[in-house]
Amino acid sequence: MLALDTEGNLTRGASASIDVIQLATMDAGSNKPAAYVWDFARATPRDHAGMVTALRAILEDARHLFVLHDGRADADVLTHLFGITLSRTRTLDTQVLFKEWVELSLAVRSSLGDEMAVEDCAPPTVDPTRRAGLNVVLAACGLPINEHKKTMAAAFKQLDGGAHVMYWNLHADATLLLEYAAFDVDQLGQAADVLLKRIKALTVVRSLLKSGQHVHDGRVAPDRADSAFAERGRAAGGEDEESNGYVTADEDGAVDIVPAWRASPLPKSKPVKARFVANGRYLEWRDVLTAHGQLPADDPLDADSDATDSDDEGPTEMDLLLDRLPDHIRAELEAMPEILASIDELVLDLGQVPQLFVFGPNARTIDLDQCGRVTREDLAKVCDSLTFTSDNRAGIERCLHRISRLLNRNGQVVGVTIRVGRASAWEKGVAKLLLDLVYSGDRSISILGRPGSGKTYTLRDLCARLGKQGTRVLIVDTSNEIGGDGDIPHPSLGKCRRMQVRNRDQQHAHLIEAVQNHTPDVIVMDEIGTKPEVNAARTVAPRVRAMLATAHGTFRDLIKNPDVRQLLGGIENATVGDAIASAANGFRKTRAERAGAPVFDTVVELLERGVVRVYHDVAQTVDDMLEPGGDVWAERRWLPGAPRKEGGEELPECRMEKGTFWAMLEQV
């Protein structure tokens, strides 16, 4: 068994390079791992050719089994630069083995419980949905970790705009660089051995558990068993579903097999039932139908167990807003309570009748013809005693409503837009679909959506949940839209702190000040949209555990916007060789590539009320979008009350208990 790793610019483009290749194997004499570092960066052209020939002889030898950790980029660049292809049947990846071990552990724990879990199980704190780094894997296997990871991570972060620096120039200490390279492979073989043994042991345990369920719970009528199982197999499209759930039978002996809950990843293009476990940290899913078309009811989950009652808007805040309206407009609104409870905006334009707007899937516009045309006195009633900021916005103290004014050339008010603000309620909103993201506590998240899609509402909800956990959250509140007007933030924010911004043009300066002076764990910003704000976000992101922010548009809109796409890593044009400039690249000699590391780890698009799309790995998504013909997949999650049509097909009827929702992987 040979451990393998590479260092260099492991990209798909013309700038790809391999500086160092590390191989490790067990020394027969000492029975300890021995690492061999191949220095391609400083080799002469003559030596370089000989090294590639020798390396090919090793890596393409059918007698060797190779071990890598997340070896996708390594294998790709070896093929691209050296023409060396690793065999699919002779390659192990410890990241894949680790994930398989954790998922098996979850399956065993769900059957036995934490107290009875066998010693080969992964700890319940391990997140099965995230890619495990090398040190995480080594530590879980009880092996020495690479102590230089943090030092080198800092060195990689300092690279300007993703520019490649030769490996031996990344740090002044050449010994540290050599040790870092060697420590990345010297324990990989042992880690693979440990994981394979645990997987084997847990597979046996899982088989015993399934056999026990089959024997004790089946109660299959002798004359119907074979046909029942065959019928179930056909209903599942030929899949062996009975090995992935548990068997039940009714009083007549009719067989039904309930699909088991599984860890991520979600299935592609197939809606499934999902829920959060471990206090919201992990997502698991299962198929929604049994042979007889209906799942049994689950025990309600307490996935939101740390939720707290917040002071919802209620009549008090709405009354404060109605008090600012002319009497005849207020009376008209109070005469339609159902509409009043759902409106998103009220627009008053001089000389026009007032208009109400309801956003979302049932969007509509309502003209208040009974109120007559808006006068200057009506506008004065709304705006008097309000203090407007430089961006012509104002609020009502300790309320979440926003009042924006339109001015003529002389600075006179000729229109107002009143956005009705509502406090986030724990049991409502799409934040309950994002618990695994927010409760990790260390993922920077960008929330995208069109105006009125609920970005600020969702951001406020996520902030409150983080603050409830004891995370130090500081909100840079540009227009007081997150925390409401006045010096005391709205109660719905809980324990979060809030920094107000006097002038929108100085939002970027306040963002930097917030981090420098108040040491938050999580920094929050609404509406990133200008180049200074993007630069400020890039500056403060490495100094906090995580950043939450909103922006207008979609993921693809951000990539096309030159001012804000730096949040996603930026884009640069690279010159490619003739081999790459083929039909796959449209015979072009240049191609767009991601320039550096994204500010945000995850992007959430708010598609419509109750529906979100989650891009877990922003860097990979950008690479896939820029790759000619690349496939882009993302998670779609939606609440039970959202529209039931998906992909032109009616969703199956299914009881959705508290804490469950719909989810699937979809191509975008």
At residue 239 the predicted structure's pLDDT band, cuts being 50, 70 and 90, is very low
Report whether pLDDT(641) > 60.
Answer: yes
Residue 272 lies in a domain: no
State whether 33 and 155 are in the same domain: yes
At residue 110 the predicted structure's pLDDT band, cuts being 50, 70 and 90, is low
Report whether pLDDT(14) > 50.
Answer: yes
Partnered with residue 611 across adjacent β-strands are: 608, 638
Question: Of 217, 241, 256, which residue constitutes the final position of a domain?
Answer: 217
The token pair that represents 359 in the structure block: 């956003």
State whether 487 and 411 are in the same domain: no
* Contact between 245 and 213 (Cβ < 8 Å): no
State whether 35 and 156 are in the same domain: yes
The token pair that represents 602 in the structure block: 């995850």
CATH number of the domain within which 544 lies: 3.40.50.300
How far apart CA 268 and CA 660 sit, in angstroms, is 19
Residue 138 lies in a domain: yes
State whether 362 and 454 are in the same domain: no
- The pLDDT of residue 287: 81
At residue 296 the predicted structure's pLDDT band, cuts being 50, 70 and 90, is very low
361 Cβ contact partners less than 8 Å away, ≥ 6 residues apart:
608, 609, 642, 643
How far apart CA 42 and CA 48 sit, in angstroms, is 9
Q: What is the mean pLDDT of the chain?
A: 81
286 Cβ contact partners less than 8 Å away, ≥ 6 residues apart:
245, 259, 260, 261, 262, 272, 273, 295
State whether 410 and 458 are in the same domain: no
How far apart CA 271 and CA 86 sit, in angstroms, is 35
Residue 308 lies in a domain: no
At residue 63 the predicted structure's pLDDT band, cuts being 50, 70 and 90, is confident
- The pLDDT of residue 632: 93
- The pLDDT of residue 368: 94
How far apart CA 511 and CA 540 sit, in angstroms, is 8
Report whether pLDDT(366) > 90.
Answer: yes
Partnered with residue 613 across adjacent β-strands are: 605, 636
Q: How far is CA 404 from the centre of its chain?
A: 33
At residue 319 the predicted structure's pLDDT band, cuts being 50, 70 and 90, is confident
The token pair that represents 595 in the structure block: 């320039």
How far apart CA 526 and CA 542 sit, in angstroms, is 19
Question: Of 385, 419, 453, which residue constitutes the final position of a domain?
Answer: 419
Residue 241 lies in a domain: no
The C-alpha R_g of the chain, in whole angstroms, comes to 29
Report whether pLDDT(445) > 90.
Answer: yes
State whether 400 and 445 are in the same domain: no
How far apart CA 399 and CA 316 sit, in angstroms, is 9
How far apart CA 609 and CA 638 sit, in angstroms, is 9
The DSSP secondary structure of 153-179, one letter per residue, reads: HHHHHTSGGG----GGGS-S-HHHHHH
End-to-end CA distance of the chain: 40
The DSSP secondary structure of 31-93, one letter per residue, reads: -SEEEEEEE-TT--HHHHHHHHHHHHHHHT-TT--EEESS-HHHHHHIIIII-----TTSEEE
CA atoms in the 13 A half-sphere facing the CB of 274: 29
- Residue 614 sits at φ, ψ, to 5 deg, of -115, 125
How far apart CA 135 and CA 194 sit, in angstroms, is 15
CATH number of the domain within which 339 lies: 3.30.450
Most confident range (mean pLDDT) of 219-223, 401-405, 658-662 is: 401-405
Q: How far is CA 365 from the centre of its chain?
A: 34
Q: Using alpha carbons, list the distances in angstroms from residue 359 to 336, 342, 482, 487, 517.
A: 17, 9, 19, 30, 39
- The pLDDT of residue 252: 46
State whether 42 and 85 are in the same domain: yes
Mean predicted confidence (pLDDT) in 587-604? 84
The DSSP secondary structure of 316-349, one letter per residue, reads: HHHHHHHTTS-HHHHHHHHT-HHHHTT--EEEEE
CATH number of the domain within which 130 lies: 3.30.420.10
Say which amino acid occupies 390: S
State whether 627 and 535 are in the same domain: yes
The token pair that represents 341 in the structure block: 């409870």
Residue 477 lies in a domain: yes
* DSSP one-letter code for 5: E
The DSSP secondary structure of 501-527, one letter per residue, reads: -S-GGGHHHHHHHHHHHH--SEEEES-
577: containing domain: 430-667
Mean predicted confidence (pLDDT) in 79-104? 87
Question: What are the tens digits of pLDDT across the range 519-578?
Answer: 999 999 988 988 999 999 999 998 999 999 999 999 999 999 998 999 999 998 877 555
Domain tally, the chain:
3
Q: Treating both helix axes as pointing N-terminal to C-terminal, what angle do 149-157 and 174-183 enclose, rounded to 10 degrees? A: 110
Residue 564 lies in a domain: yes
State whether 467 and 382 are in the same domain: no
Cis omega (within 30 of 0) on the bond before 265? yes
Question: What are the tens digits of pLDDT across the range 430-444?
Answer: 999 999 998 877 889
Mean predicted confidence (pLDDT) in 208-235? 50
Instruction: Estimate the share of the chain in helix, then strand, then coil, as percent rounded to the nearest 5.
Output: 35, 25, 40
State whether 388 and 537 are in the same domain: no
Q: Which residue has the higher pLDDT, 376 or 439?
A: 376
Residue 497 lies in a domain: yes
- H-run or E-run covering 551: strand 546-552
Listed residue (3, 183, 194, 208) closest to 92, CA to CA: 3
- The pLDDT of residue 427: 60
Report whether pLDDT(350) > 90.
Answer: yes
Mean predicted confidence (pLDDT) in 21-33? 85
Provide the pairing of β-strand 255-259 with 245-249: antiparallel
Residue 495 lies in a domain: yes
* Contact between 594 and 15 (Cβ < 8 Å): no
Listed residue (276, 301, 272) closest to 288, CA to CA: 272
Percent of the chain at pLDDT exceeding 70? 79
Partnered with residue 638 across adjacent β-strands are: 611, 662
State whether 105 and 150 are in the same domain: yes
Question: Of 360, 386, 419, which residue constitutes the final position of a domain?
Answer: 419
326 Cβ contact partners less than 8 Å away, ≥ 6 residues apart:
377, 378, 381, 382
Question: What are the tens digits of pLDDT across the range 608-618?
Answer: 888 999 999 99
Torsion-angle region of residue 469: left (phi > 0), alpha (psi -120 to 50) or beta? alpha
State whether 403 and 540 are in the same domain: no
Q: Residue 516 CB: number of other CB atoms within 10 A?
A: 10
How far apart CA 16 and CA 78 sit, in angstroms, is 10
